[in-house]
Structure 1
Amino acid sequence: MKLTSLTLAASLIGSAALASDVAPKDVMFNEDGGVDASLTGMAGDAANGAIIAGTKSKGNCVACHAISALADVPFHGEVGPTLDGAGDRWDTAEMRGLLADAKMTFDGTVMPAFYKVDGFTRPGDAYTGKAAEGPLTPILTAQEIEDVIAFLATLKE
């Protein structure tokens, strides 16, 4: 009986955590393009954020930004600013806004919106005419956004 109650309680807690994620369409940007509230209500994991930032199939931040803390990841880009010192330059709301949809802060940026599912040219339309059908998922999950923010906040000058 105790095990069943514990299992039920754990599943309810897990469901509540998932239910608290802000959906991509419900993200509230402030007047400066920042997102004040956490997308998950939970703290990010900086170690996982570092992995996401350096993983080609995930955030791949290093494709455009230099990050000295990820020196073991090859081919850092120079398109965007270095992310060294990001934790001193931007607060968490600004970083969350930049990751969710950088165009809310910098209109002409080429940085992808990592937590957006609509309002852009569908992948493939401009090149092959064979865009994906149906709804798109965001590049990163809400928790992955929070993890990358936690990592970037550790990058101090």
Structure 2
Amino acid sequence: MMRSASRVIAVIVAVLPAAAAAQALAPYTISGDGIAQSLTGQPGDATRGRALVLARSSTCILCHSGPFPEARFQGDLAPSLAGAGSRSTPAQLRLRLVDAPSIKPGTIMPSYYRVDGLTRVGSAWRDKPILTAVQIEDIVAYLATLRE
């Protein structure tokens, strides 16, 4: 299982958009089990967030399934996103996207916004986040709407 999980992470890093590379990281504070403040200071856009979740380039549905009847070949390596907004607060969702391993060490979900302390990162992605702060906030806004 670990061998295929490593391949999933390699694929995730290889296919994500380079737009995240151009943006400097916004500061954030982890408080308890979440990041309470928006990374952008603004709420995200749920419509853009849904598009990101479904885009193969963001990789969400490579590992997760969810209430996306139009999406073929949804993942089964991670929990379904259905009901994510009922199970987690926006602060918890934000931390999971920013740095899932801080919550669950050993998870195959990568840190989509953290760049420090990562050791197995391709040279093209070193010191660059996978997603931008705006993309993180858009995905948080969308996931928060999934109430089952």
Runs of 4+ in 1 over 2 A off after TM superposition: 21-24, 133-136
Distance 1:78 1:151, change over 3 A: same
CA–CA separation in structure 2 for the residues paired with 1:51 and 1:91: 21
Tell me how large the CA RMSD over aligned residues is.
1.9
Equivalent residue, structure 1, for 2:52: 52
Q: Matched residue pairs, number?
A: 126
Q: Are the counterparts in 2 of residues 22 and 39 from structure 1 also a CA contact under 8 Å?
A: no
Equivalent residue, structure 2, for 1:86: 84
In structure 2, runs of 5+ residues without a counterpart are 1-22
Q: Which has the higher contact order (CA 8 A, sep 6+)?
A: 2
For the residue of structure 1 that corresponds to 2:74, the secondary structure is: coil
Equivalent residue, structure 1, for 2:41: 41
Equivalent residue, structure 2, for 1:3: none
TM-score of the superposed pair, with normalisation by structure 2: 0.78
Distance 1:121 1:47, change over 3 A: same
Equivalent residue, structure 1, for 2:113: 115
The answer to whether structure 1 residue 96 and structure 2 residue 99 are counterparts is: no
CA–CA separation in structure 1 for the residues paired with 2:43 and 2:84: 18
CA–CA separation in structure 1 for the residues paired with 2:125 and 2:86: 40
Equivalent residue, structure 1, for 2:137: 146
For the residue of structure 2 that corresponds to 1:150, the secondary structure is: helix
CA–CA separation in structure 2 for the residues paired with 1:50 and 1:72: 12
90-99 or 136-145, which moves further after superposition? 136-145
Larger radius of gyration: 1
Q: CA deviation at 1:27?
A: 2.4
CA–CA separation in structure 1 for the residues paired with 2:25 and 2:54: 25
State the AA in 1 paired with 2:133.
Answer: A
Q: Are the counterparts in 1 of residues 97 and 113 from structure 2 also a CA contact under 8 Å?
A: yes
TM-score of the superposed pair, with normalisation by structure 1: 0.73
The equivalent position to 1:137 in structure 2, one of 110, 125, 128, is: 128
For the residue of structure 2 that corresponds to 1:93, the secondary structure is: helix
Alignment identity in percent? 40
